[in-house]
Structure 1
Amino acid sequence: MIIWFFSFFNSKAALFISGRKQIFKQIAEKINPNDQNIWFHFASLGEFEQGRPVLEKIKQSHPDKKIIITFFSPSGYEIRKNYALADGIFYLPMDGRTNAKRFIELINPEMAIFTKYEFWYYYFKELKNNNIPLYVISGIFRKEQIFFKFYGNFYRKILKNVRHFFVQNNESLSLLKSIGLNNVTLSGDTRFDRVYQNSLSPKKLPLIELFCEDAPVMVCGSTWPDDEKLLSALPDKYPNWKFIIAPHEIDESHINDIEQIFPDAIRFSNLKIMADNINEIEPDAVYITQNKILIIDNIGMLSALYQYGQIAYIGGGFGAGIHNTLEAAAFGLPVIFGPKFNKFQEAKDLISINTAKSISSVNELIEAFEDFKSNDKASVAAKNYVIDKKGATDSILSNISF
């Protein structure tokens, strides 16, 4: 009811509601329950990218399997609804006894794979009742979670429906064992596999190459207003550098706000219009490359942008928590982010090997920038960190029976 109310004012809430209309009809029309279906569920886009290496390895080694994907969030579904390797992509119907029973009957999966988190009572129970194995991959648990409280018995019951947990760290392993769950393997984080794969063959972006020319570049990914205000101090101080800002939210009001902070910036969409209106880009190359600040006003480019950078700034550290640092590290970029990073093990690891810095002020941002702008050791350490941590996908698949 709360989401329905906000759907009148919020575009994501509206998509959350509209995307689930006649959802069972959509599923019935597209999915054959007699096929060998494997169900992957992702909370949102980040979890999709995290679980993607496992999905793609399964499809590669078992091409006869049908892949069904569900998302809880519009930010995952709307961006990946046309993902080529899936045979059906849907919003997950809301958890409930009737919905779970009907959904499982319609897709009849031979197994279900959930990435990182999202624990749905009725879906998990229905899978267990039908003897369908449920796996949680790249799982991560913290002692503050309700599963580990004296009053968390109901929630612990949800976890008992899982056939096997593949977790990211020793803390998660110990916590699950402390509540009697021994069906746990320390496999690591599949995100390392994903970002490493992406770094080997990133999508080339000709307009970005033209913008960057031969200048050193700072890529600012998933930024929020507090991040952008701090970053505004850098362009004037470092006129030979170029800055690419890829905000987390790309609604028109936010893009306008960024343009107020960076009045000399140009939008990527404007570069694209220029390129589309001429047969060759070269005549306008001088104009394009004179711009020092580029605002990315679309979703989906960020993971490829890091290939053009020397330093990365990762947003979110002045809000709920930082976004993905590993995509940048995989390309050998030292990373800078705000103060709220303690829930992210990789951020702490990167700081410990001197390839990341947490900042809280303009002075600290400039100090970090100065340290990293010609620091080859930090670049090598970032890349090696990702290489050393990859391998979770093979560990998981070696423990799943098909």
Structure 2
Amino acid sequence: MLWLYNFGIFFYSLIIKVLANFNPKAKLFIQGRQKLFQRISQEVSPEHKHIWFHFASLGEFEQGRPVLEKVKEKYKEKKIIITFFSPSGYEVRKNYPGVDGIFYLPLDTASNAELFISLINPEIAIFTKYEFWYHYFHLLQKKDIPLFLISGIFRPDQIFFKWYGGFQRKILKCITHLFVQNETSLHLLEKIHLKNISLSGDTRFDRVFENASSVKGVPLVEAFVGKNPVFIAGSTWPQDEFLLQSLIAQYPDWKVIIAPHEIGKSHLSQLEQLFPSAIKYSQLQNASVTSNILIIDNIGLLSGLYQYGKIAYIGGGFGAGIHNTLEAAAFGLPVIFGPEYHKFQEAKDLISLKAAISIRNEYDLVKAFENFNSSNQYGKTAKAYVEQKKGATMGIMLEMEKYLS
């Protein structure tokens, strides 16, 4: 199976090079890895031990950030390296302060893993939620370097739990300690005879709670919303936006903030065609605001905008899966999203608490909106849920400290 895995990595590298000719993300993926080892060798001293945090993308960074910042706070003398697999994580957080290096992760080949690990000389490695790379994991185990998975979540339909998933199970067995989000994950891992598993919960609750507790105002947005009720649509995709069009037309007394997941020119142009009266965030400084619709055309602002909202719509539910519902819930907003939410425990929990509603069409959307508009209790329930679930970071730190003396 290793030869098939290696072929898959090789084939992926070829495909991404082809896509780089016309796909901006693929282009960044390739460009960010050019002369990568040369850059690492110039910026990182292999004589020093490093704590290595790896994140697949921006969402995983925010998820693992409470642990990262707790390590920074408690072990000020330690040096920290961060890697990302995806451009959407690296490009947004490449200037994150207080660490000793931020890089793309080289593709998982035996030679790349050997060179990368020799250059950063990790004391321990922490991966968030997923990404299971055979050569990196195997080499860390071989060198007796502790490897942690935090906020892991597993489902019965994953290859680890199939009769033909022996190779993937072998990767999991390289992990020193797994911190998982729910009991389902714990029981699944126990069934394949893995040990050193802790039911720690999800560190995202710590992150969103902290964000809601220390959020700063956004003056331009405050001026835009005034005293109107505010509906916030976060991380939206085109199918979400088409649905929102009819809802927004029915409630002209509401202010609406749309923060699309992609802010490329073509998508922004499409949004402006859907909502011709909208104003973009970049235009607020130099324009008199007469519109009730604001389009956020930058990255990194959304998590603080929920402070102004009353009801939130979370995008992605008509595609691969919904985006972050917890950021909105932490501010006391009930949430609405599409049908693809079953991979997300917090979405299922919020639905069971009646603080979230899944929709399939325009009729469902209007009905959900009217339901949440009828009472503030739904938002209070969402906020209480987040507060109840926080605390995963502390449990993870207690175990990791055994390896960070």
TM-score interval for Structure 1 and Structure 2 normalised by the shorter chain: over 0.9
Distance 2:27 2:279 in 1: 30
1:253 aligns with 2:253: no
Match of 2:276 among 263, 281, 286: 263
Q: Deviations over 1:111-142 (max 9, x none)?
A: 00000000000000111111100000000111
Q: Is the 8 A contact 2:49 2:120 kept in 1?
A: no
Give the aligned partner of residue 34 of structure 1.
Answer: 47
> Which secondary structure does the structure 2 equivalent of 1:336 belong to?
strand
Shift of 1:67: 1.1
SS at match of 1:395: helix
TM alignment of 1:99-114, pairs within 5 A: 99-114=112-127
The separation in 2 between residues aligned to 1:235 and 1:142, in whole angstroms, is 37
The 8 Å contact of residues 37 and 111 in structure 1, kept in 2 or not, is answered as yes
**Aligned twin of 2:4:** none
Determine whether 1:5 maps to 2:30. no
Shift of 1:85: 2.2
**Please, which runs of 5 or more residues in structure 2 have no aligned partner?**
1-13
2:247 matched to which residue of 1?
A: 234
Report the AA paired with residue 378 of structure 1: Y
1:341 match: 341
Matched to 2:309, the amino acid is: G
Where does 1:162-241 land on structure 2 (aligned, <5 Å)? 162-241=175-254
1:115 matched to 2:128? yes
Distance in 2 (alpha carbons) for counterparts of 1:358 and 1:249: 22
Provide, for residues 34-93 of structure 1, a one-character-per-residue CA deviation record: whole Å limited to 9, x for no partner.
223100000000000000000000110110111100000000000000000221000001
CA distance in 2 between counterparts of 1:52 and 1:364 reads 35
Which amino acid is the alignment partner of residue 137 of structure 1? I
The residue correspondences of 1:115-134 to structure 2 (distance < 5 A) are 115-134=128-147
Q: What TM-score, normalized to structure 2?
A: 0.95
Residue identity matched to 2:170? K
Alpha-carbon distance between aligned partners in 2 of 1:126 and 1:203, rounded to the nearest angstrom: 43
Deviation digits for residues 262-297 of structure 1 (CA, Å, limit 9, x no counterpart) = 11101111113x1xxxxxxxxx6xx32x32000011
The answer as to whether partners of 1:33 and 1:109 remain within 8 angstroms in 2 is: no
Number of the residue aligned with 2:174? 161
Alignment of 1:282-361 (within 5 A): 287-288=288-289, 290-361=290-361
Is the Cα contact below 8 Å between 1:36 and 1:64 reproduced in 2? no
Q: Mind listing any 5+ residue stretches in structure 1 that lack a counterpart? A: 275-283
1:232 aligned counterpart, secondary structure: helix
Equivalent pairs, count: 389
Q: For residue 369 of structure 2, what is the aligned residue in structure 1?
A: 369
Match of 1:394 in 2: 394
Query: Which residue pairs with 1:70 in the alignment?
Result: 83
Cα deviation code 1:8-29 (max 9, x no counterpart)? 0000000000100111111111
**Structure 2 residue identity aligned to 1:267:** K
Q: Deviations over 1:302-340 (max 9, x none)?
A: 101101100000001111111100000000000001111
Opposite residue 296 of structure 1, the aligned amino acid is I
Give aligned-pair identity as a percent.
Answer: 62
1:128-160 superposed Cα distances (whole Å, 9 cap, x missing partner): 111100000000111111111111111111111
Q: For each residue in 1:244-264, what CA deviation from the matched residue of structure 2 results, as whole angstroms up to 9, or x when unmatched?
A: 000011111111111111111
Q: Secondary structure at 2:83's aligned position in 1?
A: strand
- Residue identity matched to 1:385: Y
Q: 2:325 & 2:294 partners in 1: Cα distance?
A: 20
| Equivalent residue, structure 1, for 2:67 | 54
Amino acid at match of 2:80: I
Distance 2:49 2:315 in 1: 41
Give the root-mean-square deviation of aligned CA atoms: 0.9
Please give the TM-score of this superposition, normalised by the length of structure 1.
0.95
Q: Paired residue for 1:279? A: none
Distance in 1 (CA, whole Å) between partners of 2:52 and 2:38 is 18
C-alpha distance in structure 2 between counterparts of 1:180 and 1:248, whole Å: 39
> Residue 303 of structure 1 aligns to which amino acid in structure 2?
S
- Following superposition, the deviation at residue 198 of structure 1 comes to 0.2
Q: Distance in 2 between matches of 1:6 and 1:203?
A: 39
